Amino acid sequence: MTKLKSLKEIYGLEEDASGFGSSLVLWYNRLIKKTYDDLNVKDVSIMVRQSILPELAIDKAIEILLKNPFSGDLGDGDLLCTIAKNMSSLDVARGNNHDKLLVIWRQSNEGISKFEWANDKSKRDFISNLKELDYLLANRGIEW
């Protein structure tokens, strides 16, 4: 896949011409004009939640999380939480993603106490989702 072409060009996607005008439709029409490198945390989070180009979304999410495991759209650590919550419907651990997820998991665990959380609830939610990620990966036969 070339990272210079838009998602529309690479995947032959069409804009939603329904005229519905919802925020999701407007976002989607902007999304497909972006290149892989232009995708941001918000794009990837929505793509995962809406199952839009899920393999691409997971690849980009892992790339983002390797740089900062506490990245988020709606709050600190939200992207990893989104991945954890949607793992059962996504093939997150395919290919060499297992090794990358292990790095992210370790970075997350090591950084929890050092990270400046917006509030205690964000920290608790992140820890809970990190445990869920660990559980889900372990139940897929992936050992840390």
Q: Has residue 23 got a pLDDT over 80?
A: yes
Fill in the amino acid letter for 24. L
Q: How many CB atoms lie within 10 A of CB 48?
A: 25
Whose CA is closest to 61, among 76, 80, 37? 80
Q: At residue 2, does pLDDT exceed 60?
A: no
pLDDT 10s digits, 109-122: 899 999 998 889 88
For 42-71, the pLDDT digits (tens) are 999 999 999 999 889 999 999 999 999 999
Structure tokens given for 104: 């992210």
60 within 8 A of 22, measured Cβ to Cβ: no
**Percentage, residues of the chain above pLDDT 90:** 46
Domain boundaries, given as residue ranges, for the chain: 1-38, 53-139
Q: How far apart are CA 144 and CA 138, in angstroms?
A: 8
Supply the pLDDT for residue 144: 47
Task: Look up residue 119 and give its DSSP letter.
Answer: S
Kindly report, residue by residue over 25-43, the tens digit of the pLDDT: 999 999 999 999 999 999 9
Q: What is the pLDDT of residue 88?
A: 64
